[in-house]
Amino acid sequence: MTDGRFRPLTPSREVPPEIDTSGVSPARIYDYWLGGKDNFPADREAAEQVIAVFPGIIPGVRANRALLGRMVRYLAGEAGIRQFLDIGTGLPTENNTHEVAQAVAPESRIVYVDNDPIVLVHARALLSSTPEGATAYTEADLRDPDKILQGAAQTLDFSKPIAITLLMILMLVQDAEDPYAIMARLLDAVPSGSYLAISHPANDVDAGEIEEAYERLNERMGGTQATLRTHAEIARFFDGLDMVEPGLVQLHRWRPDPGDAGLEFDVPAYAGVGRKP
Protein backbone atom coordinates (compact mmCIF):
# COMPACT_ATOMS: atom_id res chain seq x y z
CA MET A 1 0.00 0.00 0.00
CA THR A 2 1.34 3.42 -0.91
CA ASP A 3 2.50 5.69 1.89
CA GLY A 4 1.57 8.71 -0.20
CA ARG A 5 5.17 9.89 -0.55
CA PHE A 6 6.17 9.71 -4.17
CA ARG A 7 9.82 9.97 -5.14
CA PRO A 8 9.60 10.77 -8.83
CA LEU A 9 12.40 11.96 -11.08
CA THR A 10 13.06 15.67 -10.91
CA PRO A 11 14.86 17.97 -13.34
CA SER A 12 17.96 17.75 -11.17
CA ARG A 13 18.29 14.10 -12.18
CA GLU A 14 18.83 12.56 -15.59
CA VAL A 15 16.00 13.41 -17.99
CA PRO A 16 14.96 10.71 -20.47
CA PRO A 17 15.81 11.71 -24.06
CA GLU A 18 12.18 11.53 -25.25
CA ILE A 19 11.26 14.47 -23.02
CA ASP A 20 11.64 17.86 -24.71
CA THR A 21 12.65 20.30 -21.99
CA SER A 22 12.88 23.24 -24.40
CA GLY A 23 9.12 23.37 -24.99
CA VAL A 24 6.38 23.80 -22.44
CA SER A 25 4.11 21.12 -21.03
CA PRO A 26 0.66 21.72 -19.51
CA ALA A 27 1.38 19.06 -16.88
CA ARG A 28 4.69 20.66 -15.90
CA ILE A 29 3.20 24.17 -15.80
CA TYR A 30 0.46 22.90 -13.51
CA ASP A 31 3.13 21.17 -11.40
CA TYR A 32 4.95 24.51 -11.03
CA TRP A 33 1.77 26.29 -9.96
CA LEU A 34 1.25 23.61 -7.31
CA GLY A 35 4.77 24.14 -5.98
CA GLY A 36 6.22 20.98 -7.52
CA LYS A 37 9.77 20.42 -8.77
CA ASP A 38 9.14 18.48 -11.97
CA ASN A 39 9.30 21.40 -14.37
CA PHE A 40 11.89 23.17 -16.50
CA PRO A 41 12.82 26.79 -17.35
CA ALA A 42 10.43 27.03 -20.31
CA ASP A 43 7.57 25.77 -18.13
CA ARG A 44 8.40 28.17 -15.33
CA GLU A 45 8.62 31.14 -17.70
CA ALA A 46 5.20 30.35 -19.15
CA ALA A 47 3.73 29.78 -15.69
CA GLU A 48 5.11 33.11 -14.43
CA GLN A 49 3.64 34.93 -17.44
CA VAL A 50 0.21 33.74 -16.36
CA ILE A 51 0.83 34.63 -12.72
CA ALA A 52 1.83 38.15 -13.74
CA VAL A 53 -1.56 38.72 -15.35
CA PHE A 54 -3.68 36.57 -13.06
CA PRO A 55 -2.14 35.94 -9.60
CA GLY A 56 -5.32 34.05 -8.68
CA ILE A 57 -4.12 31.10 -10.74
CA ILE A 58 -2.19 29.78 -7.73
CA PRO A 59 -5.09 29.54 -5.25
CA GLY A 60 -7.25 28.45 -8.20
CA VAL A 61 -5.16 25.39 -9.08
CA ARG A 62 -4.88 24.49 -5.40
CA ALA A 63 -8.65 24.73 -5.12
CA ASN A 64 -8.91 22.42 -8.14
CA ARG A 65 -6.63 19.90 -6.44
CA ALA A 66 -8.78 20.02 -3.32
CA LEU A 67 -11.81 19.53 -5.55
CA LEU A 68 -10.35 16.27 -6.86
CA GLY A 69 -10.22 14.91 -3.34
CA ARG A 70 -13.80 15.94 -2.58
CA MET A 71 -15.15 14.48 -5.80
CA VAL A 72 -13.33 11.17 -5.42
CA ARG A 73 -14.37 10.84 -1.79
CA TYR A 74 -17.98 11.45 -2.81
CA LEU A 75 -17.77 8.94 -5.67
CA ALA A 76 -16.06 6.21 -3.63
CA GLY A 77 -18.18 6.92 -0.56
CA GLU A 78 -21.74 8.10 -1.03
CA ALA A 79 -21.96 7.02 -4.69
CA GLY A 80 -20.34 3.63 -4.06
CA ILE A 81 -18.08 3.71 -7.13
CA ARG A 82 -15.20 1.25 -7.19
CA GLN A 83 -13.72 1.99 -10.63
CA PHE A 84 -12.14 5.23 -11.80
CA LEU A 85 -10.88 6.39 -15.19
CA ASP A 86 -8.74 9.47 -14.52
CA ILE A 87 -8.04 11.20 -17.85
CA GLY A 88 -5.43 13.94 -17.92
CA THR A 89 -3.67 12.66 -14.83
CA GLY A 90 -0.77 15.07 -14.73
CA LEU A 91 2.22 14.67 -12.46
CA PRO A 92 1.74 12.88 -9.14
CA THR A 93 1.35 15.00 -6.05
CA GLU A 94 -0.49 14.52 -2.76
CA ASN A 95 -3.93 12.89 -2.59
CA ASN A 96 -3.94 11.32 -6.03
CA THR A 97 -7.11 9.61 -7.21
CA HIS A 98 -6.06 6.10 -6.20
CA GLU A 99 -4.96 7.23 -2.76
CA VAL A 100 -8.22 9.00 -2.04
CA ALA A 101 -10.42 6.25 -3.49
CA GLN A 102 -8.57 3.39 -1.83
CA ALA A 103 -8.59 5.17 1.51
CA VAL A 104 -12.38 4.95 1.30
CA ALA A 105 -12.61 1.57 -0.43
CA PRO A 106 -9.33 -0.39 -0.63
CA GLU A 107 -10.69 -2.56 -3.45
CA SER A 108 -11.01 0.43 -5.80
CA ARG A 109 -9.48 0.09 -9.27
CA ILE A 110 -8.02 3.13 -11.01
CA VAL A 111 -6.69 3.72 -14.51
CA TYR A 112 -4.69 6.88 -15.13
CA VAL A 113 -4.48 8.33 -18.65
CA ASP A 114 -2.07 10.96 -19.96
CA ASN A 115 -0.09 11.63 -23.13
CA ASP A 116 2.84 13.56 -21.63
CA PRO A 117 6.14 11.58 -21.66
CA ILE A 118 7.22 12.99 -18.31
CA VAL A 119 4.04 11.67 -16.72
CA LEU A 120 4.91 8.25 -18.14
CA VAL A 121 8.29 8.52 -16.41
CA HIS A 122 6.37 8.89 -13.16
CA ALA A 123 3.97 6.04 -13.91
CA ARG A 124 5.77 3.68 -11.57
CA ALA A 125 4.81 6.01 -8.69
CA LEU A 126 1.19 6.10 -9.84
CA LEU A 127 1.05 2.31 -9.99
CA SER A 128 1.18 1.97 -6.21
CA SER A 129 -1.98 0.27 -4.96
CA THR A 130 -3.57 -1.49 -2.06
CA PRO A 131 -3.37 -5.29 -2.31
CA GLU A 132 -7.15 -5.45 -2.70
CA GLY A 133 -7.33 -2.89 -5.50
CA ALA A 134 -5.44 -2.05 -8.67
CA THR A 135 -3.96 0.91 -10.49
CA ALA A 136 -2.74 1.08 -14.07
CA TYR A 137 -1.48 3.69 -16.52
CA THR A 138 -2.45 4.15 -20.18
CA GLU A 139 -0.51 6.47 -22.45
CA ALA A 140 -3.15 8.04 -24.67
CA ASP A 141 -4.53 11.37 -25.83
CA LEU A 142 -8.02 12.52 -24.87
CA ARG A 143 -8.66 13.01 -28.59
CA ASP A 144 -8.37 9.22 -29.06
CA PRO A 145 -11.14 7.86 -26.79
CA ASP A 146 -11.02 4.40 -28.38
CA LYS A 147 -7.38 3.99 -27.38
CA ILE A 148 -8.24 5.16 -23.86
CA LEU A 149 -11.09 2.67 -23.58
CA GLN A 150 -9.03 -0.18 -24.97
CA GLY A 151 -6.25 0.44 -22.48
CA ALA A 152 -8.62 0.92 -19.54
CA ALA A 153 -10.46 -2.33 -20.30
CA GLN A 154 -7.37 -4.27 -19.25
CA THR A 155 -7.99 -3.14 -15.65
CA LEU A 156 -11.61 -1.95 -15.43
CA ASP A 157 -14.80 -3.98 -15.89
CA PHE A 158 -16.99 -1.99 -18.29
CA SER A 159 -20.06 -3.98 -17.30
CA LYS A 160 -19.95 -2.24 -13.90
CA PRO A 161 -20.19 1.50 -13.08
CA ILE A 162 -17.11 3.63 -13.70
CA ALA A 163 -16.37 7.22 -12.71
CA ILE A 164 -14.70 9.21 -15.48
CA THR A 165 -12.79 12.22 -14.17
CA LEU A 166 -11.64 15.04 -16.46
CA LEU A 167 -10.26 17.82 -14.32
CA MET A 168 -8.86 20.82 -16.22
CA ILE A 169 -8.18 18.71 -19.32
CA LEU A 170 -11.14 19.32 -21.64
CA MET A 171 -9.88 22.86 -22.16
CA LEU A 172 -7.03 21.37 -24.23
CA VAL A 173 -9.50 20.04 -26.81
CA GLN A 174 -10.47 22.83 -29.17
CA ASP A 175 -14.00 23.25 -30.51
CA ALA A 176 -12.87 22.17 -34.00
CA GLU A 177 -11.86 18.82 -32.52
CA ASP A 178 -15.44 18.25 -31.28
CA PRO A 179 -14.95 17.64 -27.55
CA TYR A 180 -18.65 16.81 -27.21
CA ALA A 181 -18.31 13.85 -29.56
CA ILE A 182 -15.33 12.63 -27.56
CA MET A 183 -17.35 12.87 -24.37
CA ALA A 184 -20.28 11.03 -25.95
CA ARG A 185 -17.94 8.19 -26.99
CA LEU A 186 -16.59 7.83 -23.46
CA LEU A 187 -20.04 7.89 -21.88
CA ASP A 188 -21.45 5.41 -24.39
CA ALA A 189 -18.83 2.92 -23.23
CA VAL A 190 -19.81 2.93 -19.56
CA PRO A 191 -23.00 1.43 -18.07
CA SER A 192 -25.90 2.97 -16.20
CA GLY A 193 -24.84 4.12 -12.75
CA SER A 194 -21.52 5.50 -14.00
CA TYR A 195 -20.44 9.06 -13.25
CA LEU A 196 -18.72 11.94 -15.01
CA ALA A 197 -16.71 14.52 -13.04
CA ILE A 198 -15.43 17.67 -14.76
CA SER A 199 -13.67 20.90 -13.91
CA HIS A 200 -13.07 23.46 -16.64
CA PRO A 201 -11.86 27.09 -16.78
CA ALA A 202 -14.54 29.66 -17.54
CA ASN A 203 -14.59 32.73 -19.76
CA ASP A 204 -17.66 34.25 -18.11
CA VAL A 205 -16.17 34.79 -14.62
CA ASP A 206 -13.58 37.60 -14.30
CA ALA A 207 -13.18 37.13 -18.05
CA GLY A 208 -10.67 39.93 -18.64
CA GLU A 209 -7.85 38.64 -16.45
CA ILE A 210 -8.17 34.96 -17.22
CA GLU A 211 -8.57 35.47 -20.96
CA GLU A 212 -5.38 37.55 -21.13
CA ALA A 213 -3.60 34.98 -18.95
CA TYR A 214 -4.56 32.10 -21.23
CA GLU A 215 -3.66 34.11 -24.33
CA ARG A 216 -0.14 34.40 -22.94
CA LEU A 217 -0.12 30.71 -22.11
CA ASN A 218 -1.30 29.71 -25.57
CA GLU A 219 1.46 31.79 -27.17
CA ARG A 220 3.99 29.60 -25.37
CA MET A 221 2.33 26.21 -25.68
CA GLY A 222 2.63 26.00 -29.46
CA GLY A 223 0.38 23.27 -30.82
CA THR A 224 -1.46 22.72 -27.55
CA GLN A 225 -4.01 25.47 -27.05
CA ALA A 226 -6.35 26.04 -24.12
CA THR A 227 -10.00 26.95 -24.74
CA LEU A 228 -12.06 28.69 -22.08
CA ARG A 229 -15.81 27.99 -22.12
CA THR A 230 -19.02 29.42 -20.71
CA HIS A 231 -21.23 27.78 -18.12
CA ALA A 232 -23.63 26.69 -20.85
CA GLU A 233 -20.85 25.22 -22.99
CA ILE A 234 -19.45 23.23 -20.08
CA ALA A 235 -22.95 22.08 -19.08
CA ARG A 236 -23.28 20.48 -22.54
CA PHE A 237 -20.74 17.84 -21.51
CA PHE A 238 -23.32 16.57 -19.03
CA ASP A 239 -26.16 16.25 -21.55
CA GLY A 240 -28.28 13.20 -20.71
CA LEU A 241 -26.85 12.85 -17.20
CA ASP A 242 -28.50 13.49 -13.83
CA MET A 243 -26.53 16.21 -12.07
CA VAL A 244 -25.40 15.63 -8.52
CA GLU A 245 -26.15 18.51 -6.15
CA PRO A 246 -25.20 21.35 -6.24
CA GLY A 247 -24.99 21.03 -10.03
CA LEU A 248 -22.45 22.84 -12.19
CA VAL A 249 -20.95 25.54 -9.99
CA GLN A 250 -17.69 27.39 -9.51
CA LEU A 251 -15.27 24.71 -8.44
CA HIS A 252 -14.64 26.02 -4.93
CA ARG A 253 -18.40 25.87 -4.33
CA TRP A 254 -18.76 22.18 -5.22
CA ARG A 255 -19.45 20.54 -1.83
CA PRO A 256 -16.77 22.39 0.16
CA ASP A 257 -15.57 20.61 3.26
CA PRO A 258 -16.32 22.15 6.67
CA GLY A 259 -13.42 24.34 7.62
CA ASP A 260 -12.18 24.87 4.05
CA ALA A 261 -10.30 28.12 3.77
CA GLY A 262 -12.39 30.72 1.99
CA LEU A 263 -11.00 32.21 -1.21
CA GLU A 264 -10.80 35.96 -1.62
CA PHE A 265 -12.06 35.79 -5.21
CA ASP A 266 -14.40 33.73 -7.37
CA VAL A 267 -12.44 30.96 -9.07
CA PRO A 268 -13.00 31.36 -12.83
CA ALA A 269 -13.75 27.69 -13.38
CA TYR A 270 -16.77 25.42 -13.12
CA ALA A 271 -17.10 21.91 -11.76
CA GLY A 272 -19.80 19.29 -11.59
CA VAL A 273 -20.60 15.61 -11.31
CA GLY A 274 -23.29 13.82 -13.32
CA ARG A 275 -24.69 10.29 -13.12
CA LYS A 276 -25.60 8.21 -16.16
CA PRO A 277 -29.20 7.03 -15.71
pLDDT of the chain, 277 residues: tens digit per residue: 333 333 333 443 455 555 666 677 888 888 888 888 888 888 899 889 889 888 888 888 889 999 999 999 999 999 999 999 999 988 877 789 999 999 999 999 999 999 887 887 777 776 789 999 999 999 999 999 999 999 999 999 999 999 999 999 999 999 999 999 999 999 999 999 999 999 999 988 865 677 787 787 777 776 678 899 999 999 999 999 999 999 999 999 999 987 665 555 678 999 999 999 9
CA dist., res. 33 & res. 135, Å (int): 26
Show Cβ contacts of residue 89 under 8 Å, excluding neighbours closer than 6 positions. 97, 112, 113, 114, 119, 126, 137
Kindly state which CATH superfamily the domain 26-253+265-275 is placed in: Vaccinia Virus protein VP39 (3.40.50.150)
Report DSSP letters for 126-143, one per residue: HT---SSSEEEEEE--TT
Report DSSP letters for 19-47, one per residue: S-SSS--HHHHHHHHTT-S---HHHHHHH
Burial class (CB in 10 A: 0-12, 13-18, 19+), 22: exposed
Phi and psi torsions of 155, nearest 5°:
-120, -35
Q: Where are the domains of the chain?
A: 26-253+265-275
